[in-house]
Amino acid sequence: MKPSFRYGATVLALVGVAIVPVYADVWSERAALAQIASELTALERLVSDAQKLSENDARVKFDYDVLMRDLEVIRSGINTHLSQPINPVMPSRVDALGGEYTEKNK
| Residues 64 and 51: beta-carbon distance below 8 Å | yes
What is the average per-residue pLDDT within 57-75? 90
Residue 82 has pLDDT above 70, yes or no: yes
How far is C-alpha 67 from the chain's CA centre? 26
Q: pLDDT tens digit string along 30-42?
A: 999 999 999 999 9
Buried b (16+ CB within 10 A) or exposed e, 31-70: eeeeeebeebeebeeebeeeeeeeeeeeeeeeeeeeeeee
User: CB atoms < 10 A from the CB of 78, how many?
Assistant: 18
Give the mean pLDDT of the chain. 76
Q: With contact defined as beta carbons under 8 Å apart, do 46 and 62 qualify?
A: no
